[in-house]
Amino acid sequence: MQSQNSPKVELKTSKDGSSTLYRPDLDEHYHSIHGAIQESMHVFIRAGLLAHEGNTINILEVGFGTGLNALLTMLHKGNKKVFYQTIERYPLEATIVKSINYPKVLNIPLANEYFKQLHEAPWNKDVQITPTFTIHKEASDLVLFTPQKPYDIVYFDAFGPDKQPELWTPEIFRKISESINAGGILVTYSCKGTVKRAIKATGMKIEKIPGPPGKREMLRATKI
């Protein structure tokens, strides 16, 4: 999908050799410059996906972006049956997506095919990619988004709270938290005080856990 008002992005390479994108207008990268794949594996896959015991799970992602979290989820979910809903306000142009090197760096059978299918999946509808993985990419703004499912895991991967404070508010976290099943978790790379307080105000149990290289800590919250 090409969006009329999509801001400019530049392709960069992070320190683990994997691509990331840079938004000059925000002076912000899509991932850690210390390693995009490394960060996504640490924050969303190991601390999120693999920390939840369910076998049939609904995931909500804030910010589909390059599709890295979705791709790694497909590759590391094991036998879990996953429904993956992701919200994106600025879908990337196909030319940018083609220049992203995740399948090559991962060098895992199926990575290339899955990456292609994730990006080619039409927006705003359920698309079954494998018998155990369905994605729903929603081209919308998180501020206006109404959660449709009870979720088990939330990957909160917006741009940083200093760059997009309007997405890290108590109101947004309350809206998301109300849609999380008991025992469900929310993970995010940010450990900022205001973020912690906004999540804490939802009543979720919050823990600071070690962050990926380049970041001392990250947050995981559990719905009680």
Ligand X SMILES: C[S@@+](CC[C@H](N)C(=O)[O-])C[C@H]1O[C@@H](n2cnc3c(N)ncnc32)[C@H](O)[C@@H]1O
Other residues' Cβ atoms within 10 Å of the Cβ of residue 213: 12
Nearest to 204 by CA among 142, 156, 135: 156
Got the DSSP string for 168-222?
SSHHHHHHHHTTEEEEEEEEES---HHHHHHHHTTT-EEEEEE-STT-SEEEEEE
Q: What DSSP state is assigned to residue 18?
A: -
* Closer residue to ligand X (CB): 90 or 123: 90
Query: Which member of 60, 77, 157, 179 binds ligand X (CB under 6 A)?
Result: 157
Q: Is 90 in the site for ligand X (CB under 6 A)?
A: yes
User: Binding to ligand X (CB under 6 A): which residues in 107-136?
Assistant: none
* Closer residue to ligand X (CB): 7 or 53: 7
Per-residue binding string, ligand X, 16-35, x by CB under 6 A, is --------------x-----
Query: Which member of 154, 158, 198, 221 binds ligand X (CB under 6 A)?
Result: 158
Q: Is 58 in the site for ligand X (CB under 6 A)?
A: no
Query: Which member of 45, 47, 135, 142 binds ligand X (CB under 6 A)?
Result: 142
Query: Which member of 59, 83, 88, 188 binds ligand X (CB under 6 A)?
Result: 88
Q: Which long-range contacts (CB under 8 A, 24 or more apart) does 136-141 make?
A: 136/83, 136/84, 136/85, 136/86, 137/64, 137/86, 137/88, 137/91, 138/85, 138/86, 138/87, 138/88, 139/1, 139/3, 139/88, 139/89, 139/91, 140/87, 140/88, 140/89, 141/87, 141/89
Contact window for ligand X (CB under 6 A) among 105-113, 119-127, 128-136, 138-146: 138-146
* Closer residue to ligand X (CB): 16 or 157: 157
Hey, what amino acid is at 40? Answer: S
Q: Is 159 in the site for ligand X (CB under 6 A)?
A: yes
CB 181, min distance to ligand X, A: 22
Q: Is 66 in the site for ligand X (CB under 6 A)?
A: yes
* Closer residue to ligand X (CB): 94 or 143: 143
| Cβ atoms 187, 155 nearer than 8 A | yes
Q: Is 100 in the site for ligand X (CB under 6 A)?
A: no
Q: Is 187 in the site for ligand X (CB under 6 A)?
A: no
